[in-house]
Structure 1
Amino acid sequence: MSATSSAADLNVTRVTLYKHGVGYFERAGDIPAGESATLQFQAEEMDDVLKSLTIEQRGGEGVSAVRYDSSDPLSKRLEVFPFRLGDNISLSAVLDQFKGAEVTLQIGGREVAGRIVSARTLPATQNESGQEQLVLLADGALQTVDPFASAAIRFADPKIQTQFNDYLSVLSRSRNTDKRTVTIESQGGAARIAAGYITPTPIWKSSYRLIFDKEPQPLLEGWAIVDNTSGEDWENVRLSLVSGLPVSFINRLYEPRYLQRPVVQLAQDRAWAPKIHGGAIEEPESDMALAKAMPAPPPAPMAEARAYRQSVVGAVGGYAGAAMADESFRNEISSTVAATAVKAELGDLFEYAIDHPVTIRKSESAMLPFFRERVQARRLYIYDADNGSQHPLRAAEITNSAGATLDGGAITVYDAGAYAGEALVETIKAGDKRLISYAVDLGTRITTAFDSSSKLQSEFHFRRGVITTKVAQREVKTFTIRNVDPNAKKIILEHPVRPGYNLLSAKPAETTADAYRFEVDVEPNATRKFEIVEERVYSQQQAVTNMSYQQLLSWVNNKDLSAEGRQQLERIAALKRQIADAEAQQQNVEQEVGSLDQDQNRLRSNISTLRSVPGQEQQVQQYSQRLSAQETRLIELRDQQATLRNQTAQLQTQLNNLIETMEF
């Protein structure tokens, strides 16, 4: 979780634990001149360390760099070295990779120096295993030596020796895949360095004891539970416990990121094959003119490449764009610092600082008292019918009068020196109050009754041809409270807040997000009833133009309708009745016209048939007289139709105007 320091570099001096899964650690120590401070972390902690590490130095010339192990695989980290030390590699195979390097071999009492030409293992014979052989160039002559006969081999170039040390360090650190080393390099003389960072840690937990004794106000004790899973002891550290909800996240900073870049190649000049050109016999003027009119040839491949390169440089902005990017980056840094400072000022965090040094051994936990004061509290009883019980719960209303925020947690209640129950409480800001329930009260029984006979009250509104009806439905819930104890009780009745319902009874003592709370006092050995009345209003709309005359009559006869509304609806109903009568007359006329049309068609057919039959002249004359009389009647009926249509249209216009202007 937190880091472990090598030797006596930087020791933990301060620990701050939070509620969102991180902890802040401070380390401090004296660093001798020319040395560095080394910290070790778990691999999964590196993202938070790189995101939050701060360093303060007193003395010396400042911190020159902070180095840490890469998360690249071992094979990628070894790629930077010009040699390889594989498994079971021979000494000659190692030396052969340094051809041209100057070495000094100590053989017996003498030193052999030279430049490496080659190194190899001679083939094994039947009697001897393969022998190592090193070929050196010394004083212009080649000589062979057995590297195993030397007591020491030293490279003349110190860079090669450093590369060997670095190579072996990478191999050594790779064996511990969970540990990552962070090295703080200091310049100048001796210095005192303090480093701070955050890493993932278990959250600290709080628990309380509420003790009712002989004093008027109960005693509230707060204990913090802290877990040290860091792998090292915290000795005499300054411990702070912070509660609140700051923003925190994981940003993958430790893992190297590689950007896949496009592969771009310059266009290549193609090789031209030789061509044999024939000699010209004649060059006509028309051909000359055609040649002049032809467009210029395309640019050479290299010219195309130059044009492409210029377009690419212009796209990324060139060097001027880079300068602007740097300036923008500096501006972003300034903005970020300002925003962070504002956020720190407006943060809603609160801290409990332990006022004495704390020691917690690794892999151990501790309980630390962080609060002990008398607070304002009153004993209550709370009842919620949704719990399915007839008995209320013993409760207490705690007011935070301590002047500091109290973190949420479990509360164990003691009453008169005995265990009374347990409860949970949310975070309580200074001056705020919370209700906790910790036991069942068997000395009180509460029953509820619901009045399902709803009382309907109607309200009517008419505007722009639409009748709006509001129906208020009342519901009554009755609580019957029986107190069989010899002590008076203050009982809080919880009633759910239902969308669309309004309270008509007494105002609740307080309202939560989902419930009303009513306070009811009950005398000793007494029974009391308490009613909660609620009302819900429904709205319905209906257009008058779509109503028939009979439907309007039902509205006119509604006893809840006002006199003004009844008079206006009666006028509308009268017009509706006239329109209905006119439409009925028009329908009768249309039916008669239809009947006459059919009879005329029949008469014309008979006349046409009888005219070709001898002796039927009299019958034809009778049919003709009837046809003439019907034609006269049709003319009268069509005149009536026109009159009725005009009358209906006029009545409909009057009705529409009346509907638009009436309002009640």
Structure 2
Amino acid sequence: MSQPAQHPDLPQLPIRRVAFYKHGVAMVEREGRVQGEVLPLVFRAGDMDDALKSLTVIDRAGGQVVCADYELPASASREQDALALDPGTGMLDLLERLVGWRVRVELAGRSAPLEGRVTGLQYARERRRLKGATLMLLDDAAGAVQAAPAAELVRIVPLEGRIGEDLARFLDAGKRAGGTRSVSLRLTPGEHDLAVSCLVPAPSWRVSYRVVAESDEGADTGRLLLQGWGLVDNRFDEDLENVRLTLVAGQPISFVYDLTTSRAPARKRVQDESRVAADPVGFASGLVARAAARSAAMAGAASFDMASAEFDDERGSLLAADIVGDVDDPRVGSEVALAGRPLRSARIADLEAAGPASASSDQRETFAYEVLRPVSIPRGASALVPVLQAKLAYRRELLFNEKKHPGHPVAALRCENRSGLVLERGPATLVEDGRYRGEAIVPFTGRDGSLYLPYAVELGISVRVESDRSVEDHRLRLAGGLLHREMAWGRTHRYEIVNRTADAQTLTIERSVDTLPGELLETPPPAACGDGVYRWNVDCPAGATVTFAMRSRRLAVREQRLVDLGLDELARFLADAGLTPDTRRALEALRAELALIEENRRRIAQLAEQRKQLLARQEHVRRNIGALAAGGDEGEVRLKMVRELQAAEGTLSGIDRLVAELEAENERRRGELGALLPGGRTPEAA
């Protein structure tokens, strides 16, 4: 939101405070004293919907806001204009749209102007050109039409007020072609002390961190100072001078609601009734098509990295007021330039002596960083502003997680966020004991959350991982004609750790809980468990190779009907040496009975094959019988074949009877399987 440069004589309110949010909006607050009844506010065209839904005006001098008016979109206002013009309109377009209206025209080389109503333009040889065209004017008093060469027109004066107003509105719309819209606050007479605020789209603010660490002598512990710097962009249409900044972390619900588009609801169109006597009175109706207007999509804010910075040699801190740069400058985004003494000389005590530069406030669903000193940011520039500073105790770790970095562990600092602040996600540069150590990503961390900063890869230690899975029967028990199988799914991960450094190291192995389902088995208890991971500490002597293994087992029970078991499955279950005598006797009896059923199945299959061969022989004999004569030698052969068919029919009947008996026996045996098992009892496996 900016003030209109085209109205230097009108009052302007400077921006006093801006609250930047992470989801792409900013709350802009303006304050100041004005005299008069009109205060113009100019917005970008794409900002109008947010401004109209959030504009708030307070007059602390006791005055009132009568209303806030703004121009209709060009498309809506053109529908109401008597003089409807389009962008790119030329002289011919203007003359054609003046038909019917009274004008005064002045011609080159003529002293007396012509007045009259425009009746039209006559073109030479039907070509639409100004040269050769004739403007026709009707003189109402004389009742005559006057002709004026259009090419000689030097001035046209509308004589009817509405035409002049429409033409001025059209020109104002052209003046707004730069994409701005204005809102005019209508105030009561007198002096006003105004506070005006509204939401406007704005780039999301970012954050980067500086970590200055000092280790305890001979230990893997120490303390660090965490500095956070918020990065904001001034994409407003004016400079920010001595503005209070607030950077808000959180995720408020926000949306664009189309308020600027003017819509006229469609109504049913009814035609006049016919009055022709010969025909009946008719009625026709039709729905006017609705006009659907789409709101323009908000342009996404371009991301922006780090601007240059200056190091204060005396205070030992970064100066926020001097950290500015042109948003469009390709040099912006390079590393922070540090002037004066080298960064490794910075100490926690030096940085703490500078005092706090911001204050934080918990706003329930959001968390705000209030920058304590006003900031000035030129238009089109960005700035780094201090948002937090916290001193924390840390512990150095060598952590290995093959999903995050295979082959080698990473060196990291781990600490608890006791700052009482919410930490937004952002990059961090780590300096320990005066030396640059590396860089890390600070994740989104709530108050009292664990902060883990991996900053370097330890190439002196290599780790190889092997993983396998297994499935086995853990226990068997019988109950209610069901075999209850307790299955054990196992996972094993083996680590081979080679320490090639000259120092003994402690390696923290991190493994996701999801990769070790169930209970840990034959594995040392983890040193820590949280955030969905296990962690084990493994001591690695200098120049040594160490192995470490972790195993888990997940138990599950599957139920299977005993009558559905096969001989192979029973043989595998009976091979389990841990079965109780009762369970073993029941399974052996079941196996014997199933063996008889299986033998019957084998005999049924053999009989089915024999029956198939007999049917094929019968078909062959019948074909031969049809080819033999009834008497003589062929008659005797024919008689033998008939007897063979009769014998085969008897054999087939016997086969069918035997198959039916075997199937009935199998059905009976299956039905009696439950009686062979310990009904109602639950023999337990060892």
Query: Are residues 647 and 525 of structure 1, via their aligned partners in 2, closer, same or farther at CA, if it must alter by over 3 Å?
Result: closer
Tell me what 2:145 maps to.
none
Tell me what 2:309 maps to.
none
State the 1:440 CA deviation. Answer: 2.5
Q: CA RMSD in A?
A: 5.2
Tell me what 1:213 maps to.
214
Query: Are residues 416 and 630 of structure 1, via their aligned partners in 2, closer, same or farther at CA, if it must alter by over 3 Å?
Result: closer
- Superposition TM-score, scaled by structure 1 size: 0.66
State the 1:407 CA deviation. Answer: 2.0
Query: Are residues 244 and 523 of structure 1, via their aligned partners in 2, closer, same or farther at CA, if it must alter by over 3 Å?
Result: farther
Tell me what 1:533 maps to.
551
CA contact (8 A) 2:496 2:545 kept: no
> What amino acid does structure 2 have at the position aligned with 1:183?
S
CA contact (8 A) 1:60 1:190 kept: no
Tell me what 2:320 maps to.
none
Tell me what 2:135 maps to.
none
Q: Distance in 2 between matches of 1:494 and 1:14?
A: 46
Q: Distance in 2 between matches of 1:52 and 1:368?
A: 27
CA-to-aligned-CA distance 1:382-426 (integer Å, 9 cap, x gap): 223346664422210132111121222111111111211111111
Query: Are residues 364 and 585 of structure 1, via their aligned partners in 2, closer, same or farther at CA, if it must alter by over 3 Å?
Result: closer
Q: Distance in 1 between matches of 2:556 and 2:510?
A: 26
Query: Are residues 12 and 169 of structure 1, via their aligned partners in 2, closer, same or farther at CA, if it must alter by over 3 Å?
Result: farther
Q: Distance in 1 between matches of 2:113 and 2:572?
A: 120
Tell me what 1:237 maps to.
243
Query: Are residues 519 and 249 of structure 1, via their aligned partners in 2, closer, same or farther at CA, if it must alter by over 3 Å?
Result: farther
Tell me what 1:281 maps to.
none
Q: Distance in 1 between matches of 2:110 and 2:436?
A: 84
User: Secondary structure at 2:270's aligned position in 1?
Assistant: coil
CA-to-aligned-CA distance 1:332-353 (integer Å, 9 cap, x gap): xxxxxxxxxxxxx985211011
Q: Distance in 1 between matches of 2:228 and 2:498?
A: 36
> What amino acid does structure 2 have at the position aligned with 1:225?
L
CA-to-aligned-CA distance 1:167-217 (integer Å, 9 cap, x gap): 525513422311211111112433222211111212222111111137852
> What amino acid does structure 2 have at the position aligned with 1:22?
V
Give yes or no for the alignment of 1:49 onto 2:51.
Answer: yes
CA-to-aligned-CA distance 1:552-590 (integer Å, 9 cap, x gap): 445434435443322222232333345456778899999
The correspondence for 2:670, drawn from 631, 646, 652, is 652
Query: Are residues 596 and 371 of structure 1, via their aligned partners in 2, closer, same or farther at CA, if it must alter by over 3 Å?
Result: closer
- Superposition TM-score, scaled by structure 2 size: 0.64
> What amino acid does structure 1 have at the position aligned with 2:413?
A
State the 1:429 CA deviation. Answer: 1.4
CA-to-aligned-CA distance 1:352-392 (integer Å, 9 cap, x gap): 11112222222222222222231222222222334666442
The correspondence for 1:250, drawn from 253, 256, 261, is 256
State the 1:658 CA deviation. Answer: 5.2
> What amino acid does structure 2 have at the position aligned with 1:133?
L
Give yes or no for the alignment of 1:226 onto 2:253.
Answer: no
Q: Distance in 1 between matches of 2:463 and 2:383?
A: 47
Query: Are residues 500 and 564 of structure 1, via their aligned partners in 2, closer, same or farther at CA, if it must alter by over 3 Å?
Result: farther
The correspondence for 1:447, drawn from 459, 463, 475, is 463
Give yes or no for the alignment of 1:478 onto 2:495.
Answer: yes
Query: Are residues 269 and 500 of structure 1, via their aligned partners in 2, closer, same or farther at CA, if it must alter by over 3 Å?
Result: farther
Tell me what 1:375 maps to.
392
CA contact (8 A) 1:68 1:183 kept: yes
> What amino acid does structure 1 have at the position aligned with 2:593?
L
Q: Distance in 1 between matches of 2:649 and 2:590?
A: 39
Q: Distance in 2 between matches of 1:389 and 1:577?
A: 54
State the 1:462 CA deviation. Answer: 4.4
The correspondence for 2:563, drawn from 542, 545, 550, is 545
CA contact (8 A) 1:60 1:188 kept: no
CA contact (8 A) 1:460 1:470 kept: no
Q: Distance in 1 between matches of 2:590 and 2:245?
A: 84
Give yes or no for the alignment of 1:133 onto 2:150.
Answer: no
Q: Distance in 1 between matches of 2:663 and 2:387?
A: 93
Q: Distance in 2 between matches of 1:596 and 1:164?
A: 113
Q: Distance in 2 between matches of 1:555 and 1:83?
A: 93
User: Secondary structure at 1:565's aligned position in 2?
Assistant: helix
Tell me what 1:327 maps to.
none
Counterparts of 1:480-495 in structure 2, within 5 Å, are 480-482=497-499, 484-486=501-503, 489-495=505-511
Tell me what 2:330 maps to.
none
> What amino acid does structure 1 have at the position aligned with 2:244?
R
Tell me what 2:175 maps to.
175
Q: Bigger CA drift: 263-272 or 575-584?
A: 575-584
CA contact (8 A) 1:445 1:483 kept: yes
Counterparts of 1:192-203 in structure 2, within 5 Å, are 192-203=193-204
Query: Are residues 194 and 435 of structure 1, via their aligned partners in 2, closer, same or farther at CA, if it must alter by over 3 Å?
Result: same
CA contact (8 A) 2:3 2:12 kept: no
> What amino acid does structure 2 have at the position aligned with 1:200?
P
Give yes or no for the alignment of 1:18 onto 2:44.
Answer: no
Q: Distance in 1 between matches of 2:586 and 2:46?
A: 81
Query: Are residues 199 and 455 of structure 1, via their aligned partners in 2, closer, same or farther at CA, if it must alter by over 3 Å?
Result: closer
User: Secondary structure at 1:253's aligned position in 2?
Assistant: coil
> What amino acid does structure 2 have at the position aligned with 1:20?
H
CA-to-aligned-CA distance 1:582-622 (integer Å, 9 cap, x gap): 778899999999999999xx9xxxxxxxxx99xxxxxx9xx
Give yes or no for the alignment of 1:66 onto 2:84.
Answer: no
State the 1:38 CA deviation. Answer: 0.6
> What amino acid does structure 2 have at the position aligned with 1:175?
K
Tell me what 2:277 maps to.
271
User: Secondary structure at 1:575's aligned position in 2?
Assistant: helix
**Structure of larger gyration radius:** 1
Give yes or no for the alignment of 1:565 onto 2:583.
Answer: yes
Q: Distance in 2 between matches of 1:550 and 1:169?
A: 94
> What amino acid does structure 2 have at the position aligned with 1:28?
E
User: Secondary structure at 1:196's aligned position in 2?
Assistant: strand
Q: Distance in 1 between matches of 2:374 and 2:649?
A: 122
The correspondence for 2:381, drawn from 348, 357, 364, is 364
Tell me what 1:520 maps to.
538
Q: Distance in 1 between matches of 2:493 and 2:95?
A: 100
Query: Are residues 96 and 254 of structure 1, via their aligned partners in 2, closer, same or farther at CA, if it must alter by over 3 Å?
Result: closer
> What amino acid does structure 2 have at the position aligned with 1:576?
L
Query: Are residues 650 and 30 of structure 1, via their aligned partners in 2, closer, same or farther at CA, if it must alter by over 3 Å?
Result: same
> What amino acid does structure 1 have at the position aligned with 2:436?
Y
> What amino acid does structure 2 have at the position aligned with 1:530?
F
CA contact (8 A) 1:471 1:537 kept: yes
CA-to-aligned-CA distance 1:523-566 (integer Å, 9 cap, x gap): 66766543222336687775543445565445434435443322
Structure 2, unmatched stretches of 5+, are 118-140, 143-156, 217-221, 288-361, 622-630, 633-638
Q: Distance in 2 between matches of 1:386 and 1:266?
A: 78
> What amino acid does structure 2 have at the position aligned with 1:226?
V
State the 1:79 CA deviation. Answer: 0.9
Q: Bigger CA drift: 629-638 or 235-244?
A: 629-638
CA contact (8 A) 1:4 1:231 kept: no
Q: Distance in 2 between matches of 1:66 and 1:301?
A: 50
Q: Distance in 2 between matches of 1:632 and 1:202?
A: 96
Give yes or no for the alignment of 1:9 onto 2:26.
Answer: no
State the 1:55 CA deviation. Answer: 1.6
State the 1:245 CA deviation. Answer: 1.8
Counterparts of 1:157-172 in structure 2, within 5 Å, are 164=164, 167-168=167-168, 170-172=170-172
User: Secondary structure at 2:269's aligned position in 1?
Assistant: coil
CA-to-aligned-CA distance 1:121-161 (integer Å, 9 cap, x gap): 79x9xxx548413589xxxx99xxxxxxxxxx999xxxx76
Aligned residues: 542
CA contact (8 A) 2:471 2:487 kept: no
> What amino acid does structure 2 have at the position aligned with 1:180?
R
Q: Bigger CA drift: 424-433 or 56-65?
A: 56-65
Tell me what 2:592 maps to.
574
Q: Percent sequence identity over matched residues? A: 25
User: Secondary structure at 1:49's aligned position in 2?
Assistant: helix
Counterparts of 1:271-350 in structure 2, within 5 Å, are 271-272=277-278, 301=281, 348-350=365-367
CA contact (8 A) 1:3 1:230 kept: no
State the 1:482 CA deviation. Answer: 2.2
State the 1:45 CA deviation. Answer: 1.4
Q: Distance in 2 between matches of 1:553 and 1:357?
A: 84
User: Secondary structure at 1:51's aligned position in 2?
Assistant: helix
Structure 1, unmatched stretches of 5+, are 100-117, 143-152, 274-299, 313-344, 603-611, 614-619
